[in-house]
Amino acid sequence: MTVSGFFDVHGARLAVFERAGSGPPVFLAHATGFHARCWNQVVARIPDRRAIAFDMRGHGLSSKPEPPYHWRQFGEDTASLARQLSLRGATGVGHSMGGHSLTLAAALVPEAFDELILIDPVIMPRALYTGRHRELHYARKRRNHWKSPDEMFERFKDRPPFRDWDQAVLRDYCNFGLVPATDGHGYVLGCPPDIEASIYEASALHDADLYDEFGKVEAPVTVVRAPRFMPAEGPMDMAASYTAPDLATCFRRGRDIVVPHSHFIPMENPALVAGYVNSPGPG
C-alpha cells in the first residue's frame, strides 16, 4: 500500500493508504497504538481486492491533536472518511479500537459497508461502561525514542507479546510505526505514549458505549475474538479479550468465532484474517 492522500475530518488530518484492485474495496481500521501499515500482510493475502487503510488521528502520519481522546470520535472520523471516499459495498475490517470505530461508522453510513469483520473489537459488556476513566495506563511509560526501526525490531522480537507475532508483521509495525524526531535525532513513536494511554483510559466512558447504535448496522457482522475474556476494571491485560462474549447476538446478522490466539489476532495470524475477508460472511 502507498499513501493515496490526506483527508480532513473533524479537525484532524488523516493519512490514507491504498492498494489497487478490483471489486468492492476492503476498508481496514487499526488498533490503538498501531498504524495502517500493520495491515500489509493481510492485504498481501487478498491480492485481487482493492484495499484501503488509514492512520487514525493521533497515529502514524495523521495529525496528533492534544489529548484527551474519546472513542466515539474515532468512529465519527471513520464515518466521515467513508463518506469522503464514497465507499459503497465495502468489506470493513477492524481490529480492537478499529473494530469499535467501524461499528459506529457502519451505523452512521450503512450504505458504505456490505460486511463487517470485527477482530476483538473491544466492545465490552454494557455494564462496564461506567462513565469513569480507567486508572493511568502503563503506555504512558512506553519507550518513545529509537535510533532506528531495526533497533526497535531487535528489542521486541523475543519479548511478549511480540515474540508470538508473524515476523513480517512485526517488521511492518517497526518500519512504519516510527516518525523522525523533531530534534533531528533518531525516531519517535507514530502514536505518542500520552495519546495511546489517553485512549485506553477513556475506554469505559459513556461515549464509548455503542449499544444503542447496533440496530442501525445493516451489514452482516463477523466477530472474531480471543478466548480469554477480562471483564474486571483495573490494570489492562493487553493480550486478553475485552469484547463481550455475546456481542455477535446484538446484530441483526451476526456470527461469533473464537480463535486460539491472543487479542493480537492480525499480528499473530494475518492469513487467518485474510481468510475471513476472502470467504462470505453470515447471510
Residues pairing with 115 in the sheet: 91
Cα→Cα distances 116→5, 46, 62, 147, 149, Å: 24, 16, 24, 38, 32
Domain boundaries, the chain: 2-278
Peptide bond into 24 cis (omega under 30): no
- Residue whose cell numbers read 459506529: 104
Neighbours of 231 (CB within 10 A): 13
Q: Enter the pTM of the model.
A: 0.95
Architecture of domain 2-278: 3-Layer(aba) Sandwich (3.40)
- Closest-CA residue to 55 (of 86, 9, 117, 110): 9
Distance between CA atoms of residues 46 and 235, nearest Å: 37
Burial 34-49 (b: 16+ CB within 10 A, else e): bbbbbbbbbbebbeeb
* Cell numbers linked to 125: 459488556
| Residuewise pLDDT in 10s, the chain (283 residues) | 899 899 999 999 999 999 999 889 999 999 999 999 999 999 999 999 999 999 999 999 999 999 999 999 999 999 999 999 999 999 999 999 999 999 999 999 999 999 999 999 999 999 999 999 888 888 889 999 999 999 999 999 999 999 999 999 999 999 999 999 988 889 999 999 999 999 999 999 999 999 999 999 999 999 999 998 886 666 667 788 999 999 999 999 999 999 999 999 999 999 999 999 988 667 6
Burial 137-176 (b: 16+ CB within 10 A, else e): bebeeeeeebeebeebbeebeeeeebeebbeebbbbbbeb
Backbone region of residue 153 per phi and psi (left: phi > 0; alpha: psi in -120 to 50; beta: other values): alpha
Distance between CA atoms of residues 126 and 206, nearest Å: 10
Name, in order, each residue with C-beta under 8 angstroms of 176's C-beta and a sequence gap of 6 or more.
35, 36, 37, 38, 60, 190
